[in-house]
Amino acid sequence: MSPSDLQNEIMKRLRNLTKDFPLDTKSLLPLSDNDTTPFKIFRQTLPEMLHDMDDYRDEDEKDKDIYPFMIVNLPGGKQESRAANQIEPVQILIAVKNKDKDNRGFSDLLEAVQIVIDDFNENPIVNGLYDMQYPIEWMPYEEENTFPYFFAQVTLRFEIVTTVYRGGLDDDERNW
């Protein structure tokens, strides 16, 4: 059991959870009236480049390579003592793009936040190994106007069972 395994399992769960999630995306290139473009799920950050610098597609077409997306980020962890279990925060950055002038993108974002929260409230144990701890926190990014892009972060915390050396070999006999 490790933070990396937890991250992988949450990414799988989010892919499944959002594969048919309807977004009301309005753009020059809508896929349909009720776009079900699947969320792209990324580990830790966005990939460096998802398209070439010499790519001459318009911005809406390029953004379809990225939006909507979720990033599963591990910002660090905490273990209070040698025998204590590790507490691992997991930050899920959610981003959508919607050009509607009525801020429909914010509603899309809130719906995505809510399905993540509902899913983890309904099943707070990941892969039978990682037990979610409360509180669940979320917040939209509103420090500046990012229209037509909308962002929010959901923070979950999981307990990871720590393996403790119980003895049996002298220090010079261990294979570190």
Per-residue pLDDT of the chain (176 residues; tens, 9 = 90+): 789 999 999 999 999 999 877 765 554 444 444 455 678 999 999 887 655 555 666 666 667 778 899 999 999 998 898 888 999 999 999 999 888 877 788 888 999 999 999 999 999 999 999 999 999 999 999 878 888 899 999 999 999 887 655 555 555 555 55
Rounded to whole angstroms, how far apart are CA atoms 124 and 120? 5
Annotated domain spans of the chain: 3-173
Show the 3-state SS of the chain.
Answer: CCHHHHHHHHHHHHHHHHCCCCCCCCCCCCCCCCCCCCCEEEECCCCCCCCCCCCCCCHHHHHCCCCCEEEEECCCCECCCCCCCEEEEEEEEEEEECCCCCCHHHHHHHHHHHHHHHHHHHCCEECCCEEEEEEEEEEECCCCCCCCEEEEEEEEEEEECCCCCCCCCCHHHCCC
Contact 86, 158 (CB under 8 A): no
- Which superfamily does 3-173 belong to? Phage minor tail protein U (3.30.70.1700)
Predicted pLDDT of residue 33: 45
Q: Is the CA virtual torsion 11, 17, 18, 20 positive or negative?
A: positive
Q: How many CB atoms lie within 10 A of CB 45?
A: 9
For 165, which DSSP code?
A: -
Whether the model clears a pTM of 0.85, i.e. scores above it, the answer is no
